[in-house]
């Protein structure tokens, strides 16, 4: 039983990273209507920047807010300069742009920092805590808390502020939003900015555990896409829950299902998703259209 | 004094298809003008051209300023509201959130009156208060029309464009809608440009009427005069179903 709990906790810890990245992907999808394949690379870039800042001697208390602001500006800038010009050209053009961004960002990261895997020190130290029979590393606790905080803040902004209301209005019905004087362009850029900031936190938290390299977020990106599919792209909460589920499921499967082990553990969540999509194509939390004629 | 809205030689096209061929039109301060005409006459396109959601040529001046080249969002912020055909509700948001969107979109000078205005809206449309926690997409057609109107009013426009508010509504609901429209001007001190196929009901509400046919103004007169015009009735009040008969102004 203890081991089961320990495995679940460990699955939740990795699941939080997927959850944050899935949230970022869902935010962009709701606003712009496209998958941002480069969302993981943005997070990797953010992790490298935080590594550089930390190496330069900055305190983590400073790095986190600086990283959030930089990422916001970066995400909004990418939307404005690279995505907006092809917006009218259809979903395939947008997908192509984000795929190009994936390759481009990856190449730039590799060019600056090299392709070797570096070990990044945990911002939270190396202590280990015990709660009854369970052990927690400081990295797991602190990283988890940071990701949860970022997702909560994001949720609060969307749920309770006029800015969040405008963002959701643009995602729901851009034409009507314009008629209320809302600048849809500004809101889309803000959406990309928030997504990049949430993703940056995911990258920062993932790096000490997974090792810092340009490939840091390659697997997490796939799992985050799966998480968003599982939870429903139209639901921010669904993306988060999907991420946690996938983290836990793949961890438990590799431990308890004979023959799966570490290499095949990725197969499990995708099998689950396949089943979910057969039964609920809109995802667990997604809305099928509720519009009355 | 010049009119609140002055339209001269307005043209609009979808691709190569010209829909409006030089519309002239004015709406005065606190005036209700009905735009009448059959399906395809260009009513919806006219309203879209005015709110900047369809590209247009010609001159539009609103509150003394030219709207040429102004984005839809900026036109809306300048006090020109638009309740589009098909209502344009934010179906994934709750009724209350739709209403709050109207409030956050109002000019800064009217922010202080938001609570009073909201009470007035709930007084006029009690059903919206009852349903405020529901997703707007779950409302009936009539309720969504009320919601769209409420949201637009709460943004406190000086001129409100309303496109076919009675479309697809049951006769009783439609009658409710027109009785609300009749009271709008007194309660919200605004001007209205109302596009409607239901000429009889809209001419009761309006001061003046403008009749469109195939993208041109074919008649413009005080509402009572238009309502009494037998030739117009033949063409636009349903007695001639093709609605294509041109009527001399």
| Among A275, A274, A223, CA closest to A247 | A223
What pLDDT, on the 0 to 100 scale, is given for residue A267?
A: 82
What pLDDT, on the 0 to 100 scale, is given for residue B103?
A: 95
pLDDT band of B246, cuts 50, 70, 90 = very low
For residue A231, being part of any structural domain is answered with no
- Does the pLDDT at position B244 exceed 60? no
Instruction: Look at phi and psi of residue B58 and say left if phi exceeds 0, alpha if psi is from -120 to 50, else beta.
Output: left
- Does the pLDDT at position B149 exceed 90? yes
What pLDDT, on the 0 to 100 scale, is given for residue A290?
A: 46
What pLDDT, on the 0 to 100 scale, is given for residue A272?
A: 78
Mind listing the pLDDT tens digit for each residue in B214-228? Answer: 999 999 999 999 888
Mind listing the pLDDT tens digit for each residue in A182-192? Answer: 999 999 999 99
Mean pLDDT of B123-137: 94
CB A134 within 8 A of CB A128: no
For residue A239, being part of any structural domain is answered with no
Stretch 204-243 of chain A: residues touching chain B, C-beta under 8 Å: 234
Q: Taking CB atoms and an 8 Å limit, are A179 and B140 in contact across chains?
A: no
For residue A26, being part of any structural domain is answered with yes
pLDDT band of B238, cuts 50, 70, 90 = low
Q: What is the Cβ-side half-sphere exposure of residue B169, based on CA atoms within 13 angstroms? A: 25
Cβ-based contacts of B67 with chain A (< 8 Å): none
ipTM: 0.88
For residue A244, being part of any structural domain is answered with no
What pLDDT, on the 0 to 100 scale, is given for residue A258?
A: 81
What pLDDT, on the 0 to 100 scale, is given for residue A288?
A: 63
What pLDDT, on the 0 to 100 scale, is given for residue A265?
A: 74
For residue A292, being part of any structural domain is answered with no
What pLDDT, on the 0 to 100 scale, is given for residue B237?
A: 54
Mean pLDDT of B106-122: 92
Q: Taking CB atoms and an 8 Å limit, are A176 and B81 in contact across chains?
A: no
pLDDT band of B248, cuts 50, 70, 90 = very low
For residue A121, being part of any structural domain is answered with yes
pLDDT band of B198, cuts 50, 70, 90 = confident
A162 touches chain B (CB under 8 A): yes
User: What are the DSSP calls for chain A, one per residue?
Assistant: -HHHHHHHHHHHHHHHHHHHHHHHHHHHHHHHSS--TTHHHHHHHHHHHHHHHHHTT--HHHHHHHHHHHHHHHHHHHIIIIIGGGGGG-HHHHHHHHHHHHHHHHHHHHHHH-SS-BPPPPTT-S-EEEETTEEEEHHHHHHHHHHHHHHHHHHHHHHHSHHHHHHHHHHH-HHHHHHTT--HHHHHHHHHHHHHHHHHHHHHHHHHHH-BSTTTTHHHHHHHHHHHHHH-TT-HHHHHHHHHHHHHHHHHHHHHSTTTTTTSTTHHHHHHHHHHHHH-TT-SSPPPP----
Residues of chain A with pLDDT under 70: 287-293
B88 touches chain A (CB under 8 A): yes
Distance from the A282 Cα atom to the nearest Cα atom in chain B, whole angstroms: 14
What pLDDT, on the 0 to 100 scale, is given for residue B241?
A: 42
For residue A156, being part of any structural domain is answered with yes
Mind listing the pLDDT tens digit for each residue in A202-214? Answer: 999 999 999 999 9
Q: CA A254 from chain center: how many Å?
A: 23
CB A40 within 8 A of CB A21: yes
Mean pLDDT of B236-243: 48
* H/E run at residue B65: strand B65-66
Summary mean pLDDT of chain B? 89
> In the structure encoding, which two tokens stand for residue B177, read together?
């809608």
Task: List the domain range (segments joined by +) for residue A136.
Answer: 2-214
A179 touches chain B (CB under 8 A): yes
Say how many domains are in chain A: 1
Mind listing the pLDDT tens digit for each residue in B27-79? Answer: 999 999 999 988 889 999 999 999 999 999 999 999 999 998 899 999 999 99
For residue A232, being part of any structural domain is answered with no
What pLDDT, on the 0 to 100 scale, is given for residue B236?
A: 64
């Amino acid at each position: 039983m203890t081991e089961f709990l320990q495995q679940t906790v460990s699955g939740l810890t990795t699941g939080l990273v997927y959850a944050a990245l899935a949230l970022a992907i869902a935010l962009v999808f709701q606003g712009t209507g496209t998958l941002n394949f480069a969302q993981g690379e943005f997070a990797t870039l953010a992790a490298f920047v935080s590594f550089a800042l930390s190496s330069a001697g900055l305190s983590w208390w400073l790095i986190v807010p600086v990283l959030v602001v930089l990422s916001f500006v970066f995400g909004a800038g990418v939307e404005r300069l690279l995505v907006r010009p092809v917006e009218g050209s259809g979903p395939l053009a947008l997908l192509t742009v984000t795929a190009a961004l994936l390759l481009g960002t990856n190449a730039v990261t590799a060019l600056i920092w090299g392709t070797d895997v570096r070990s990044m020190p945990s911002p939270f130290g190396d202590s280990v805590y015990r709660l009854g029979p369970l052990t927690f590393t400081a990295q797991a606790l602190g990283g988890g808390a940071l990701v949860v905080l970022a997702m909560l803040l994001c949720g609060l902004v969307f749920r309770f502020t006029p800015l969040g209301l405008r963002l959701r209005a643009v995602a729901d019905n851009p034409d009507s939003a314009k008629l209320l004087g809302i600048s849809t362009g500004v809101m889309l850029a803000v959406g990309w900015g928030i997504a990049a900031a949430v993703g940056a936190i995911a990258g920062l938290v993932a790096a000490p555990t997974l090792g810092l390299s340009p490939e840091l977020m390659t697997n997490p990106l796939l799992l985050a896409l799966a998480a968003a599919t599982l939870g429903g792209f139209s639901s921010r909460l669904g993306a988060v829950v999907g991420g946690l589920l996938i983290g836990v499921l793949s961890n438990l499967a590799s431990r308890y299902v004979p023959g799966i082990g570490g290499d095949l553990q990725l197969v499990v969540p995708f099998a689950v998703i396949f089943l979910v999509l057969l039964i609920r194509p809109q995802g667990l939390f997604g809305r099928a259209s509720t519009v009355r004629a | 004094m010049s009119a609140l809205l002055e339209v001269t030689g307005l043209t609009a096209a979808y691709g190569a298809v010209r829909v409006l061929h030089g519309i002239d039109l004015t709406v005065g301060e606190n005036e209700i003008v009905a735009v009448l005409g059959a399906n395809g006459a260009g009513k919806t396109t006219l309203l879209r051209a005015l709110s900047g959601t369809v590209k247009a040529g010609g001159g539009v001046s609103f509150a003394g300023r030219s709207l040429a080249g102004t984005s839809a969002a900026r036109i809306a912020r300048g006090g020109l509201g638009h309740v589009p055909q098909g209502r344009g509700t934010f179906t994934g948001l709750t009724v209350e959130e739709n209403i709050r969107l109207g409030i956050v979109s109002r000019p800064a000078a009217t922010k202080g009156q938001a609570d009073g205005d909201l009470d007035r809206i709930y007084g006029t449309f009690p059903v919206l208060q009852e349903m405020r926690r529901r997703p707007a997409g779950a409302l009936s057609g009539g309720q969504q029309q009320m919601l769209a109107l409420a949201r637009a009013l709460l943004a406190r426009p000086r001129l409100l464009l309303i496109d076919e508010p009675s479309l697809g509504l049951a006769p009783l609901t439609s009658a409710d809608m027109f009785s609300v429209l009749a009271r709008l001007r007194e309660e919200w001190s605004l001007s209205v440009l109302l596009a409607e196929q239901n000429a009889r009901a809209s001419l009761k509400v309006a001061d003046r009427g403008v009749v469109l046919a195939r993208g041109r103004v074919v008649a413009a007169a005080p509402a009572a005069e238009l309502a009494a015009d037998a030739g117009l009735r033949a063409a636009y009040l349903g007695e001639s179903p093709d609605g294509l008969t041109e009527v001399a102004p």
